[in-house]
Structure 1
Amino acid sequence: MIYLDYAATTPISDEALDVYTKVSKSFFGNANSLHDAGSDAFQLLETCREELANLLHGAKEGIYFTSGGSEANSLALSSLIDAHKEKGNHLITTATEHSSVDHFFKKMEGEGFDVTYLPVDDSGRLAVDDVEDAIRETTILASIHHANGEIGTVQPIEAIGNLLQENNILFHADCVQTFGKIPIDLRQFKLDSLSLSSHKIYGPKGVGAAYIDPKVKWQPQIPHTTHESGFRPGTVNVPGIAAFVTSAKAVCDAIMKEGERITELRAKLMASLPSMITVEGDETHFLPHILGLRIANVEGQYTMLECNRHGVAISTGSACQVGKQEPSRTIKALGRTDAEAKQFIRLSFGKQVTMEDIDQTAAVFREVLGAYFGEGVRV
């Protein structure tokens, strides 16, 4: 099987798995316990916290480990909004956020908040002027993803951060797809909070992190919670966190070299695709490991199933949306029709993908589409 669904999840690295096993055996104490076994686990946890913060150019006191990116999004957003709701009831986000963020803001609307969903252009890019126009005196917070997980379009985070800081508005970014793929600098981006996930960067599933600037106040969502400074309840997953940070350091160390390799893979595949395939996303501001495609008159579900039958694993978009009948919100936001949105497929690349895999994938597309249209297809 040629696996091209790394944006959904990645295989755990040997290094991360080895760390997980060793820490499970040697640091099994509860990090909140006062005996030596607990103290050893606590010290390892704090080392992990500091190392992850350094990768983000942030402070270790701002790192809160979670069960993943979705929980990091919801807890960071709710903790910040609750602590600052005396300012007003207006929130800003985009029409193309991850489902965890979109669902959160729908919930906030049900609780009486006024939410502005900013549009994007036909490449998925947000205009900074639209952010500025949306700001009100009652605006508490804006949540804008660093890059889209379906088409890979990267947003002008630094310019948005400067604008929001000037207007004293909290800024959260979902960085799950970008961490370890492109550099993230909390200071440069003027971010008050962000979310990360382990299983997108060759770490174990069920682990993630939120960052909240230590200078920014936040409110615990469950009173009297003791773990993670009150950010979330439950015994802390020290082995998972150690494996997560191990993976994070490895991908960040190789970020430039791997980025260049993935960019070459992406370009080779794009040059080999049949002519009826349209690339969705921004041509300049994009994540190299995500390639969103649309095939005219062919539903994405059919393409995905046929590719799977030929030994190539791709997706029809975000794994968190699988099973839903509605077309992709992201593709609809680009101005596509329902029928066009249902034609969408996503290929995403990672460490194990080779040039030979790309050649085989292009051949599979030509075979699948040739059989569908009953004739040869042009590149």
Structure 2
Amino acid sequence: MAKYFDNAATTIISKKALEAYNNISLNYFANPSANHSLGQECKSVLEENRLIIANLLKVTPNTIYFTSGGTESNSIILSSLLWSKSPGEIIIGKTEHSSILNFERILSEKGYKVITLNAPNGFISKELLKKKLTNKTRMVVIQTVNNVTGSINDIENLVKVVRDKEKEIGRKIYFHTDAVQALTKIDLDLNKFDVDSASFSAHKFHGPRGIGFLYSKNPNVQPLSRGGGQERGLRAGTENLAAIVAMRVALEEYLFIKNDNVIEINKYVRENLKPQIISPNSNGSPFIINFSVSPFPSEVFTRMLNDEGFIVSSGSACSNNVKNKGENVLIAMNIKPNVAKSSVRISFNKNTDINDAISLVKKINSLYDTLIR
């Protein structure tokens, strides 16, 4: 069986989460909006799991909205801007996930001035953000952990810069963060961060695909679609109860497992990998390492590794149908284009076997030596 090192794209569902999914599918299959007894039981299970997730994150349950995942959660927040009758400015990091970056054209067409921020070495500085904030700023969108390199932004202090600007202009500035690569992997305190909203996906922490949630303190966020009024009117459609429960089980299972194993693996890879490592050594997620096999194309190298039984990634899986994939993200980090075109991402989970990582490094070094001869 191939050894899997593409966990930033998706993780395998845990056995406990899968068991929970099957149990709910077979025993709590009714529509939670139905008035009959089984429907009301399902509704009770739904709200119980919302409460558990909220308690795990130390927030109130009325701030948790179940969605299909990070992309939809990001879209809900950014689409809400389209309802404004007085467009202003929105600040977005150039290294954001494609579900954020692809809104730039739409927002511009609706009258917003979209200001994009470079992120040298993967980080957006307080000084740059402060410089770009104006009296017209309506929203700031900066991800917590970058999905290509693992760079961790200092969200807490970036939000403080925005809050100071709010006091200066006497008006609210909305701060949203894509935290999909953060939950269960770094210390994440939404109250300390003081963000207005954050996006999460279950399949990044061993839950099922197609389920996630939006944390939002603003009850006036506008829905993407309208229908039966589920999720307090924010997300129409019958709730996927089995997936929601499985997500909760996975979150409980992995939230408190320490990162010691991943940190050890990360350290070994950094000390022994021959190709140039792009991911930051400090202020980076231990779960992601991006490296360059320049001057060789990343697609060629990833196929070679795949043929040898190692599954890795070139760029972001979420943008593999888009030209340049993760290259633009790396270029926004001041990485040279030739290095960006040759970037390979390996990503771990808390169950990754260090012996598999050792085998991967040996194979990468062997293939790289063969190519550069």
Secondary structure, in 3 states, of the residue corresponding to 1:176? Answer: coil
1:156-305 counterparts in 2 under 5 A?
A: 156-166=154-164, 167=166, 168-214=172-218, 217-223=220-226, 225-254=228-257, 257=258, 259-274=259-274, 277-305=275-303
C-alpha deviation, 1:76, in angstroms:
2.4
Structure 1 CA distance for aligned equivalents of residues 187 and 153 of structure 2: 13
Structure 1 CA distance for aligned equivalents of residues 82 and 179 of structure 2: 22
Contact 2:305 2:311 in 1 (8 A): yes
C-alpha deviation, 1:110, in angstroms:
2.0
Contact 2:221 2:234 in 1 (8 A): no
Structure 2 CA distance for aligned equivalents of residues 160 and 372 of structure 1: 43
TM-score (ref. length: structure 2): 0.94
C-alpha deviation, 1:55, in angstroms:
2.3
Superposed CA deviations along residues 201-220 of structure 1, whole A, max 9, x for unmatched, are 00001101101115x53223
User: Does residue 9 of the first structure (1) align with residue 20 of the second (2)?
Assistant: no
Structure 1 residues 220, 359: CA separation in 2 closer, same or farther (over 3 Å shift)?
closer
Partner of residue 169, structure 2: none
Structure 1 CA distance for aligned equivalents of residues 82 and 34 of structure 2: 30
Contact 2:87 2:110 in 1 (8 A): no
1:1-379 counterparts in 2 under 5 A?
A: 1-79=2-80, 81-82=81-82, 85=84, 88-121=87-120, 123-166=121-164, 167=166, 168-214=172-218, 217-223=220-226, 225-254=228-257, 257=258, 259-274=259-274, 277-326=275-324, 328-374=327-373
Superposed CA deviations along residues 156-187 of structure 1, whole A, max 9, x for unmatched, are 10001112223131110000000110121111
Contact 1:88 1:139 in 2 (8 A): no
C-alpha deviation, 1:86, in angstroms:
5.1
Contact 2:294 2:338 in 1 (8 A): no
Contact 1:225 1:231 in 2 (8 A): no
Structure 1 CA distance for aligned equivalents of residues 199 and 260 of structure 2: 25
Superposed CA deviations along residues 125-170 of structure 1, whole A, max 9, x for unmatched, are 1111111111111211111000100100000100011122231311
C-alpha deviation, 1:82, in angstroms:
4.8
User: Which amino acid in the other structure matches residue 212 of structure 1?
Assistant: S
Structure 1 CA distance for aligned equivalents of residues 109 and 85 of structure 2: 18
C-alpha deviation, 1:339, in angstroms:
2.3
C-alpha deviation, 1:120, in angstroms:
0.9
C-alpha deviation, 1:323, in angstroms:
3.4
Structure 1 residues 223, 6: CA separation in 2 closer, same or farther (over 3 Å shift)?
closer
Structure 2 CA distance for aligned equivalents of residues 324 and 88 of structure 1: 28
Superposed CA deviations along residues 39-68 of structure 1, whole A, max 9, x for unmatched, are 111111111111111222211001111111
Structure 2 CA distance for aligned equivalents of residues 367 and 60 of structure 1: 51
Secondary structure, in 3 states, of the residue corresponding to 1:183? Answer: coil
Which of 313-322 and 54-63 deviates more? 54-63
Which of 243-252 and 337-346 deviates more? 337-346
Contact 1:87 1:139 in 2 (8 A): no
C-alpha deviation, 1:222, in angstroms:
3.4
TM-score (ref. length: structure 1): 0.93
Structure 2 CA distance for aligned equivalents of residues 43 and 311 of structure 1: 45
Please list every run of at least 4 consecutive aligned residues from structure 1 whose deviation after the TM superposition is greater than 4 angstroms: none
Structure 2 CA distance for aligned equivalents of residues 313 and 44 of structure 1: 37
Secondary structure, in 3 states, of the residue corresponding to 2:349? Answer: coil
**Identity within the alignment, %:** 29
Superposed CA deviations along residues 257-310 of structure 1, whole A, max 9, x for unmatched, are 2x1210100111121112xx1111322100000001112212111110111111
User: Which amino acid in the other structure matches residue 17 of structure 1?
Assistant: L
Partner of residue 377, structure 1: none
Structure 1 residues 225, 107: CA separation in 2 closer, same or farther (over 3 Å shift)?
farther
Structure 1 CA distance for aligned equivalents of residues 251 and 74 of structure 2: 19
Matched pairs, number: 365
Structure 1 unpaired stretches of 5+: 375-379
User: Which amino acid in the other structure matches residue 53 of structure 2?
Assistant: L
Contact 1:312 1:361 in 2 (8 A): yes
Contact 1:165 1:190 in 2 (8 A): no
Structure 2 CA distance for aligned equivalents of residues 308 and 180 of structure 1: 28
Contact 2:82 2:110 in 1 (8 A): no
Contact 1:292 1:346 in 2 (8 A): yes
C-alpha deviation, 1:338, in angstroms:
2.8
C-alpha deviation, 1:371, in angstroms:
2.0
Structure 1 CA distance for aligned equivalents of residues 28 and 288 of structure 2: 37
Structure 2 CA distance for aligned equivalents of residues 221 and 366 of structure 1: 47
User: Which amino acid in the other structure matches residue 281 of structure 1?
Assistant: S
Secondary structure, in 3 states, of the residue corresponding to 1:211? Answer: strand
Pairwise CA RMSD:
1.5
Contact 2:315 2:343 in 1 (8 A): yes
Structure 2 CA distance for aligned equivalents of residues 372 and 88 of structure 1: 52
Secondary structure, in 3 states, of the residue corresponding to 2:283? Answer: coil
